[in-house]
Amino acid sequence: MRISVIGCGYLGAVHAACMAKLGHDVVGIDVDEQKISELSRGRAPFFEPGLENLLQEVQSTGRLRFATEFAAAEGSSVHFICVGTPQKKGENGADLTFVDAATSALLQHLSPGDIVVGKSTVPVGTAGRLVAVVKQAQPEADLLWNPEFLREGHAVSDTLLPDRLVYGVDGGSEDHRSVEVLDQVYASALEAGIPRLITDLPTAELVKTAANSFLATKISFINAMAELCDAAGADVSLLADAIGLDDRIGRKFLNAGIGFGGGCLPKDIRAFMARAGELGADQALTFLREVDAINMRRRTRVVELTRELCGGSLLGQRITVLGAAFKPESDDVRDSPALSIAAQLQLQGADVTVTDPEALANAARRFPELHYEKSTGTALKDADAILLLTEWQEYRDLDPYETAYSVAYKRVLDGRNVLDARKWRAAGWTYRGLGRP
């Protein structure tokens, strides 16, 4: 099939490459010339495992190209909208500028029979509004919503073989013309037995925000338990293992630590609350305010624990922060709890050095006042305390005996509860976890 993908960020670039991998003829479109120039050369403009190899593989087949002009969408019969929906400045709601702009720019290039497929995360009601916009410009085109559930760091495999496919169509009927078209797009996933659900438009939009809200709630739940474990002298990791064995609960997303960040969960729960308010259903989501508050409290807690670890004052303390990305296997620092903690410590008088295998360039753009160091060994040198804040494998694998040779004081704060506390203590370290005795 001939496919256009509008927006070549974390979602769109991966989606375009994966659609070409599935055998489709794809054009990726983005207004950012730099991004398009890199993608056209087979280079990923951000770190995502497997993406660069995939780009090179599919570009050599001639099935994937990139452009900055919307006219390049002409001739495609399926158009995916993959642009960002960031949080509005100073407000909780989602900023739909890019979704609206992408849809309008596409209108003049639509032909009868085309389908526009929204993948961006949008407030419920957006798709219904856009159906009318599309129909007015091209009555024989359709718009449906097909939310994306990929995780950064696993984006390629999540796109090729997702847990489920959700098609939100106007009216919610299985017989909708565009269902058959989307089935052809996703033929290989469907053949592999991936479940496919047909819903109406608002349900499809809500599936995405509900899923992210549930994940955020699960993380804040275990972080609330970590607060209790701290107060009671219990161990939240063991608690999570034990409750996670109940398969109604499940162990995934029950890792207590410095909380969630990134370009999705934080802004999605806020946009969801804002939208619920507009719909007169704000009471239904007041718990998400608490989810957000528990999450933000983690960052303050780590700053306080670091102060304790350093003997009561942060002034002049040399702190090494391991990890800047919001999670491992990503160079994304949007709302990264690790970076926000590093910046707070610096503001409170500590001398902070941040290291990360992939995210330093993005981090330096966001917080130029921090000191960055590429080599872990150099970053650790003469540290008064080290903080593991993003659980990259190389930090999990640090040897407490070897690390001890580099630092000035053997003090470690494990912000992700991934180190073996007994081993670090045996090597003479003062070890602090979160919600661990």
Would you list the DSSP string of 212-250? HHHHHHHHHHHHHHHHHHHHHT--HHHHHHHHHTSTTT-
Give the span between the Cα atoms of 205 and 207, in whole angstroms. Answer: 6
| Residue 82: closest CA among 155, 24, 191 | 155
- Residue carrying the six token digits 């702009």: 101
Classify strands 318-322 and 196-199 as parallel, antiparallel or unpaired.
Answer: unpaired
- For residue 355, list its beta bridge partners: 322
Nearer to ligand UGA, 88 or 151 (CB): 151
Tell the smallest beta-carbon distance from residue 150 to ligand UGA (Å). Answer: 5
How many residues of this chain bind ligand UGA (CB under 6 A)?
A: 21
Give the span between the Cα atoms of 322 and 357, in whole angstroms. Answer: 9
Using the rule CB under 6 A, is 150 a contact of ligand UGA?
A: yes
Nearer to ligand UGA, 150 or 412 (CB): 150
Give the span between the Cα atoms of 117 and 16, in whole angstroms. Answer: 13
Nearer to ligand UGA, 326 or 395 (CB): 326
Tell the smallest beta-carbon distance from residue 260 to ligand UGA (Å). Answer: 3
Using the rule CB under 6 A, is 264 a contact of ligand UGA?
A: yes
What is the helix (H) or strand (E) element at residue 411, kind and residue range? strand 411-414
Using the rule CB under 6 A, is 149 a contact of ligand UGA?
A: yes
* The one segment of 128-136, 254-262, 271-279, 354-362 that binds ligand UGA by CB under 6 A: 254-262
What is the helix (H) or strand (E) element at residue 393, kind and residue range? helix 393-396
Tell the smallest beta-carbon distance from residue 48 to ligand UGA (Å). Answer: 10
Tell the smallest beta-carbon distance from residue 396 to ligand UGA (Å). Answer: 13
Residues 114-143 that bind ligand UGA (CB under 6 A): 121
Specify the DSSP class assigned to residue 14: H
Tell the smallest beta-carbon distance from residue 217 to ligand UGA (Å). Answer: 12
Nearer to ligand UGA, 156 or 407 (CB): 156
Tell me, residue by residue from 294 to 333, as one string, x for binding to ligand UGA by CB under 6 A and - for no binding: --------------------------------xx------
362 in Cβ contact with 368 (< 8 Å): no
Residues annotated as catalytic (active site), given as ranges: 264
187 in Cβ contact with 165 (< 8 Å): no
Using the rule CB under 6 A, is 15 a contact of ligand UGA?
A: no
Q: Which of 7, 9, 257, 433 binds ligand UGA (CB under 6 A)?
A: 257
Interface with ligand UGA by CB under 6 A: which residues? 121, 148-152, 212, 215, 219, 253-255, 257, 259-262, 264-265, 326-327
